């Protein structure tokens, strides 16, 4: 058994605890991370973006509703994060997590996501996709250079290289997110349930619990003197 590695949502394994310096010992942070798609699996990444939006990005999103918008919240907010390399990863962060509840966060996360999979709301997902499209178009209108340069640089760094025409085709693909969204909108509830299982519930993940420590803060301060 490797500390910090959960083999699946059945909680085989245990989160890794890490101390960080803080005089306030009331809140910490919890992070879960999974291996993501390859760089050139562009549609899979877009699906992952909208899936995490569905799970987190509003008061009625399953994770936010069940873990933040409650009388005794586990944390102040739940936020996904991504890094796209040749082989990327995706994460979810629980910010300002209550220390007295941190030991329960990982298990409750998987329970909430499992229930969200069983009760998947396709109509709400369609709204999420439309909102994601509006955000994309707004960003392109507000900052077109920024919207294009990030994907182009990532393509230069991580895209497979088989010839000049492949590079041209790759650039066209990464800028056609709207076409990918149109295809993603055709997915049904069963498709999304499989995505949740394949990307979150079934694969192994890394779980880290950041615990605040006033003692660690004092030790670091004394060593710096």
Percent helix, percent strand, percent coil in the chain, to nearest 5: 55, 20, 25
In the structure encoding, which two tokens stand for residue 56, read together?
A: 């987190």
Q: 19 in helix, strand or coil?
A: strand
Q: Residue 212 belongs to what H/E stretch? A: strand 205-213
Give the dihedral of Cα atoms 35, 42, 93, 14; nearest 10 deg: -20
Phi first, then psi, for residue 130 (nearest 5°) are -65, -40
Q: Is 105 exposed, middle or buried (0-12, 13-18, 19+ CB in 10 A)?
A: buried
Give 99's DSSP letter.
Answer: G
0.75 exceeded by the pTM? yes
C-alpha to C-alpha distance for 209 and 17, rounded to whole angstroms: 5
- Max CA distance (Å), the chain: 61
Rounded to the nearest angstrom, the gap between the alpha carbon of residue 174 and the centroid of all alpha carbons in its chain is 20
Give 100's DSSP letter.
Answer: G
Tens-digit pLDDT string for the chain (225 aa): 555 666 555 556 788 889 999 999 999 999 999 999 998 898 999 999 999 999 999 999 999 999 999 999 999 999 999 998 889 999 999 999 999 999 999 999 999 999 999 999 999 999 999 999 998 888 878 887 776 777 777 777 777 766 555 555 556 566 678 888 999 999 999 999 999 999 999 999 999 999 999 999 888 888 887
The answer to whether 212 and 18 have CB atoms below 8 angstroms apart is: no
C-alpha to C-alpha distance for 200 and 205, rounded to whole angstroms: 8
């Amino acid at each position: 058994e490797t500390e910090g590695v959960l083999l699946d949502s059945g909680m085989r394994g245990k989160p890794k605890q890490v101390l960080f310096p803080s005089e306030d010992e009331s809140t910490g942070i919890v992070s879960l991370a999974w291996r993501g798609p390859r760089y050139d699996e562009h549609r899979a990444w877009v699906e992952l973006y909208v899936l995490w939006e569905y799970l987190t990005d509003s008061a009625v999103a399953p994770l936010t509703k069940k873990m933040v918008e409650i009388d005794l919240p586990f944390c102040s907010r739940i936020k996904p994060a991504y890094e796209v390399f040749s082989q990327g990863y995706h994460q979810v962060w629980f910010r300002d997590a209550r220390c007295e509840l941190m030991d329960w966060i990982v298990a409750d996360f998987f329970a909430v996501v499992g229930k969200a999979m069983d009760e998947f709301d396709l109509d709400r997902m369609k709204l999420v996709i439309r909102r994601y499209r509006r955000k994309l178009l707004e960003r392109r209108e507000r900052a077109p250079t920024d919207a294009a340069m990030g994907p182009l640089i990532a393509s230069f760094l991580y895209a497979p290289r088989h010839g000049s025409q492949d590079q041209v085709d790759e650039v066209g693909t990464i800028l056609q997110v709207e076409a990918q969204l149109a295809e993603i909108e055709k997915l049904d509830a069963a498709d999304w349930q499989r995505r949740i299982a394949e990307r979150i519930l079934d694969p192994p993940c890394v779980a880290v619990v950041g615990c605040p420590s006033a003692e660690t803060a004092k030790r670091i301060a004394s060593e710096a003197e």
